């Protein structure tokens, strides 16, 4: 740590001296600068590892300094100091490449944690740079696979934003690999050796979700017989993925926003606040702007999460990646199941390349896993595919089309082949949606999880629709 150099840029003399003295007491080498212009000179001359800079300064403010540092060849982590209530400017700084931000008056423990994280990121940068080079050559970035322009763009964005402690919102249809993108962000960051915790907000009952995420004390509610750490605490120093963020209850969204801004949480039933050091990534298969308009997602939470947005493309839009994805999935399944499947037959690949994959990469993985299990360690052929797979032309959903619930519209291959949804002029949108859902359930033999995947909606949304239609499990 003694080799880590920290530059403090602050125009107020007492604050500048106090910060430098505090940081030096932790074993860092420090220098100071009186404003942004002097800070830029010091960065060029001294090559610090971390710059801690105030936002409001004469001659050159913090954002201008950050912008100028980003043009330099050396890698410098920039931490900006903001006045209370200036979260908007902090988010702007993060979008410009700041590593993190801290509100004034400075919380010493929070500053110490940020500096430690920045040092870990610096130490990981060399190894990560090697992985970025390999990703360019092999078409793989962590768990993500692809060489298409769409996936290359995803890789570039992940490589750019992973090193910063910035919130990210990942959007895209169900099954497009949003969790894989989140894992790639984690693996390309200085938090890579710390926990990665994923929680599906749609899979947790509304009465338990706040406890699941924030934890609870003994006696906080009926059945709380002992203290329990929530997902934030389990992900300490690592990354927390909140999947299906649009399904999170409004009250929990309010509490989450407070945690994101204050970096502290309070367990249910507790009066004490706990500092948290967690990078939060959110994901949703809904159009977030539509969700905000519908009141399903708080606008201020969306703004706070959407510092950067990664839009995962549906598989039908990057079919060129299917051969590489299939090869990677076969390797994965061979390891998981102890099989030795050598590859895939040409007729199967031809079907894969012409099929529209309404369930996206998740459906491809499930299809490969089924085939591997049935193959008896032989090359995967047509006999190992689900009955009727790819026999009928499949009409892919229009890009951006939505059910009235905000979910993506889709039609199963079986529905096209034998269970056509017949609509007549005058049919309402709600009735058309109902017919589509019921036909999809029929084609999946009432497998609600599978039906939800095909329709591109969450299981919770599907259950709510069935309740709306007053259908129990037996009737559905």
Pick from 259-263, 381-385, 432-436: least confident: 432-436
In contact, 6 and 48? CB cutoff 8 Å: yes
pTM: 0.76
β-sheet bridge partners, residue 243:
200
Per-residue confidence (pLDDT) for residue 411, from 0 to 100: 31
Distance of CA 80 to the CA centre of its chain: 24
Per-residue confidence (pLDDT) for residue 41, from 0 to 100: 96
Mean pLDDT of 379-399: 69
Say yes or no to pLDDT of 95 above 60.
yes
Q: What are the φ and ψ backbone dihedral angles of 324, each rounded to 5 degrees?
A: -65, -40
Please compute, for residue 297, the number of CA atoms within 13 A of its CA located in the half-sphere on the CB side: 26
> Would you identify the CATH topology of the domain 315-384?
Helicase, Ruva Protein; domain 3 (1.10.8)
Say yes or no to pLDDT of 397 above 80.
no
Q: Where are the domains of the chain?
A: 5-124, 155-311, 315-384, 413-468
What tokens were used for 253? 């969204």
Say yes or no to pLDDT of 110 above 70.
yes
Q: Dihedral, CA atoms, 59, 63, 66, 68, nearest 10 degrees?
A: -50
Say yes or no to pLDDT of 440 above 60.
yes
Residue with more model confidence, 423 or 261: 261
Dist CA 155 CA 132 (whole Å): 9
Banded pLDDT at 214 (limits 50, 70, 90): very high
Per-residue confidence (pLDDT) for residue 396, from 0 to 100: 41
Share of the chain above pLDDT 90, in %: 64
Dist CA 88 CA 62 (whole Å): 14
Instruction: Indicate the class that CATH gives domain 5-124.
Output: alpha beta
Mean pLDDT of 449-460: 77
Pick from 73-82, 326-335, 396-405, 443-452: least confident: 396-405
| Phi-psi domain of 357 (left: phi exceeds 0; alpha: psi -120 through 50; beta: other) | left
Rg (CA), the chain: 25
Per-residue confidence (pLDDT) for residue 122, from 0 to 100: 75
Q: Three-state SS string across the chain, please?
A: CCCCEEEEECCCHHHHHHHHHHHHHCCCEEEEECCHHHHHHHHHHHCCCEEEEECCCCCCCHHHHHHHHHCCCCCCEEEEEECCCCHHHHHHHHHCCCCEEEECCCCHHHHHHHHHHHHHHHHHHHHHHHHHHHHHHHCEECCEECCCHHHHHHHHHHHHHCCCCCCEEEECCCCCCHHHHHHHHHHCCCCCCCCEEEEEHHHCCCCCHHHHHHCECCCCCCCCCCCECCHHHHCCCCEEEEECHHHCCHHHHHHHHHHHHHCEECCECCCCCEECCCEEEEEECCCHHHHHHCCCCCHHHHHHHCCEEEECCCHHHCHHHHHHHHHHHHHHHHHHHCCCCCCECHHHHHHHHHCCCCCHHHHHHHHHHHHHHHCCCCCECHHHCCCCCCCCCCCCCCCCCCCCCCCCCCCCHHHHHCCCCCCCCCCCHHHHHHHHHHHHHHHCCCCHHHHHHHHCCCHHHHHHHHHHCCCCCCCC
Say yes or no to pLDDT of 401 above 80.
no
Mean pLDDT of 412-430: 51
Per-residue confidence (pLDDT) for residue 424, from 0 to 100: 59
> Would you identify the CATH topology of the domain 155-311?
Rossmann fold (3.40.50)
Mean pLDDT of 387-404: 49
Q: Do 155-311 and 413-468 share a fold?
A: no
Mean pLDDT of 403-424: 40
pLDDT tens by residue, 330-388: 999 999 999 999 999 999 999 999 999 999 999 999 999 999 999 999 999 999 998 88
Residue with more model confidence, 146 or 207: 146
Tokens 């689900």 found at: 386
Q: Tell me the C-alpha to C-alpha distance, in Å, between residue 60 and each of 35, 45, 89.
A: 7, 18, 16
Mean pLDDT of 206-234: 89
Dist CA 216 CA 370 (whole Å): 40
Dist CA 232 CA 473 (whole Å): 35
Mean pLDDT of 409-418: 34
Per-residue confidence (pLDDT) for residue 423, from 0 to 100: 61
Mean pLDDT of 38-47: 95
Instruction: Indicate the class that CATH gives domain 413-468.
Output: mainly alpha
Say yes or no to pLDDT of 425 above 70.
no
Dist CA 273 CA 296 (whole Å): 28
Banded pLDDT at 227 (limits 50, 70, 90): confident
What tokens were used for 69? 């540092």
Please compute, for residue 9, the number of CA atoms within 13 A of its CA located in the half-sphere on the CB side: 33
The average confidence (pLDDT) of the chain is: 86
Per-residue confidence (pLDDT) for residue 217, from 0 to 100: 92
Per-residue confidence (pLDDT) for residue 219, from 0 to 100: 85
Per-residue confidence (pLDDT) for residue 419, from 0 to 100: 46
Mean pLDDT of 424-448: 75
Dist CA 20 CA 29 (whole Å): 9
Q: What are the φ and ψ backbone dihedral angles of 380, each rounded to 5 degrees?
A: -65, 125
Say yes or no to pLDDT of 402 above 50.
no
Dist CA 470 CA 221 (whole Å): 32
Share of the chain above pLDDT 70, in %: 89
pLDDT tens by residue, 48-69: 999 999 999 999 999 999 999 9
Q: Dihedral, CA atoms, 168, 172, 177, 182, nearest 10 degrees?
A: 10
pLDDT tens by residue, 165-177: 889 999 999 999 9
């Amino acid at each position: 740590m003694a080799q880590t150099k920290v530059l403090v840029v602050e125009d107020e003399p007492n604050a500048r001296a106090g910060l430098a003295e505090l940081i030096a007491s932790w074993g860092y080498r420090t220098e100071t600068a009186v404003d942004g212009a002097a800070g830029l000179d010091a960065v060029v001359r001294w090559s610090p590892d971390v710059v801690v800079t105030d936002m409001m300064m004469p001659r050159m403010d913090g954002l201008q300094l950050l912008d100028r540092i980003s043009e330099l060849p050396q890698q410098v982590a920039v931490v900006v100091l903001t006045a209370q209530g200036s979260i908007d400017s902090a988010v702007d700084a993060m979008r410009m490449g700041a590593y993190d931000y801290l509100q004034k008056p400075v919380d010493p423990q929070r500053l110490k944690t940020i500096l430690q994280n920045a040092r870990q990121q610096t130490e990981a940068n060399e190894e990560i740079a090697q992985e970025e080079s390999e990703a360019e050559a092999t078409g793989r970035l962590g768990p993500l696979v692809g060489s298409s322009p769409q996936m290359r763009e995803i890789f570039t964005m992940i490589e750019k934003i992973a090193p910063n402690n910035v919130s990210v919102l990942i959007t895209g249809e169900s099954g497009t690999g949003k969790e894989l993108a989140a894992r790639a962000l984690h693996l390309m960051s200085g938090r890579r050796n710390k926990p990665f915790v994923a929680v599906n907000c749609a899979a947790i009952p509304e009465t338990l979700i706040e406890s699941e995420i924030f934890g609870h004390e003994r006696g906080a509610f009926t059945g709380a017989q002992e203290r329990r750490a929530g997902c934030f605490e389990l992900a300490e120093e690592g990354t927390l993925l909140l999947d299906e963020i649009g399904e999170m209850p409004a009250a929990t969204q309010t509490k989450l926003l407070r945690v994101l801004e204050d970096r502290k949480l309070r367990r249910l039933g507790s009066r004490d606040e706990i500092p948290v050091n967690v990078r939060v990534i959110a994901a949703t298969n809904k159009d977030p702007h539509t969700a905000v308009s519908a009141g399903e997602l708080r606008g201020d939470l969306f703004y706070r999460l959407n510092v950067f947005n990664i839009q995962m493309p549906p598989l039908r839009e990057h079919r060129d990646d299917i051969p590489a994805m299939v090869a990677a999935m076969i390797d994965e399944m061979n390891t998981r199941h102890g099989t030795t499947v050598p590859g895939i037959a040409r007729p199967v690949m031809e079907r894969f390349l012409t099929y529209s994959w309404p369930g996206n990469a998740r459906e491809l993985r499930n299809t490969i896993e089924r085939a591997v299990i049935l193959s008896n360690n032989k090359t995967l052929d047509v006999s190992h595919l689900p009955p009727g797979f790819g026999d009928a032309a499949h009409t892919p959903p229009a890009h951006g089309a939505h059910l009235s619930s905000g979910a993506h519209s889709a039609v199963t291959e079986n529905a096209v082949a034998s269970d056509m949804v017949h609509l007549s002029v005058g049919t309402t949108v709600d009735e058309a949606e109902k017919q589509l859902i019921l036909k999809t359930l029929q084609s999946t033999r009432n497998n609600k999880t599978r039906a939800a995947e095909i329709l591109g909606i969450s299981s919770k949304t599907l259950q709510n629709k069935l309740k709306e239609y007053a259908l129990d499990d037996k009737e559905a």
